[in-house]
């Protein structure tokens, strides 16, 4: 056995299972269902596998030493086989976490929004919002209702990757969002105008992203949730004005 392998630190299966059970129990005490908790853990596992696949691919592309073409060819073929296998495992793990019952209902189905999906969205929007403006005392505190309407416009697969979509939206529209929050957000002259009150909430980042990419679907879910029309009209007006 290679010396590096002798000193390698690895978790045994029983310890990994114990960590998962501990997390399930802690989330259960916080009020989350076993299905929600298991889905979150599976999503993290899928991400870890995808990261390992990328790292293995980068390492495998670099052939050590100069040992001739046959060695190089064999090395690259072996590395490709490993990364392909890892990619397949990661994809299956992701599919199990996002769509455990299979695609029988159709690829475009939009099932009811789960509590864990709302919690993941809450964690995603807050730092993005605070990158453009400060926390506001006028936040209408309708986080769950607004995010549920936003997430209802998406499929489970889109919800799983929504944090990345939001980050990309904020990066691509940074200058426009800066102008918007200066003109209509906390500290602006319109700070107490109820039409723009949603811009005092971190959820406004999510609303603006949907207005830019799926406005009709958002309007439909907004109406279904019986949220105030002015809360959607204000961000829409501000988004257009900041263009």
For 84-123, what is each residue's pLDDT tens digit?
887 787 777 777 777 766 654 556 778 889 888 999 999 9
pLDDT at res. 103: 59
Burial-class residue 102 by CB neighbours within 10 Å (0-12, 13-18, 19+).
exposed
Tokens of 167: 């980050």
Give CB contacts under 8 A, 24+ apart, made by 123-126: 123/163, 124/162, 124/163, 124/166, 124/167, 125/166, 125/202, 125/203, 125/205, 125/206, 126/202
51 — pLDDT class (breaks 50, 70, 90): confident
pLDDT at res. 1: 47
Judged against a pLDDT cut of 90, whether residue 77 lies above it is answered with no
Express as a percent the part of the chain with pLDDT over 70.
90
Digit-coded pLDDT (tens) for 180-224: 999 998 888 776 667 888 999 999 999 999 999 999 999 999 999
Judged against a pLDDT cut of 80, whether residue 155 lies above it is answered with yes
Q: d(Cα 101, Cα 162) in Å, to the nearest integer?
A: 21
């Amino acid at each position: 056995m290679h010396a590096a392998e002798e000193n390698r630190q690895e978790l045994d299966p029983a310890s990994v299972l114990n960590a998962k059970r501990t997390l399930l129990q802690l989330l259960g005490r916080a009020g989350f269902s076993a299905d929600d908790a298991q889905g979150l853990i599976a999503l993290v596992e899928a991400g870890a596998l995808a990261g390992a696949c990328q790292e293995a691919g980068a390492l495998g592309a670099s052939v050590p030493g100069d040992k001739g073409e046959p060695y190089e060819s064999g090395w690259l073929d072996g590395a490709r086989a490993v990364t392909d296998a890892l990619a397949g495992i990661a994809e299956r793990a992701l599919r199990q976490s996002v769509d455990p019952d299979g695609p029988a209902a159709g690829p475009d189905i939009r099932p009811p929004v789960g509590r864990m999906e709302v919690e993941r969205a809450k964690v995603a929007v807050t730092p993005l919002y605070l990158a453009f403006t400060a926390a506001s005392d006028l936040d209408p505190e309708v986080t769950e209702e607004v995010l549920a309407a936003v997430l209802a416009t998406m499929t489970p697969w889109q919800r799983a990757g929504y944090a990345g979509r939001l980050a990309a939206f904020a990066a691509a529209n940074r200058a426009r969002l800066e102008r918007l929050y200066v003109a209509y957000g906390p500290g602006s002259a319109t700070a107490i105008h109820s039409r723009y009150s949603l811009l005092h909430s971190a959820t406004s980042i999510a609303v603006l992203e949907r207005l830019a990419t799926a406005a009709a679907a958002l309007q439909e879910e907004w109406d279904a949730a019986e949220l105030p029309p002015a809360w959607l009209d204000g961000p829409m007006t501000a988004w257009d004005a900041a263009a």
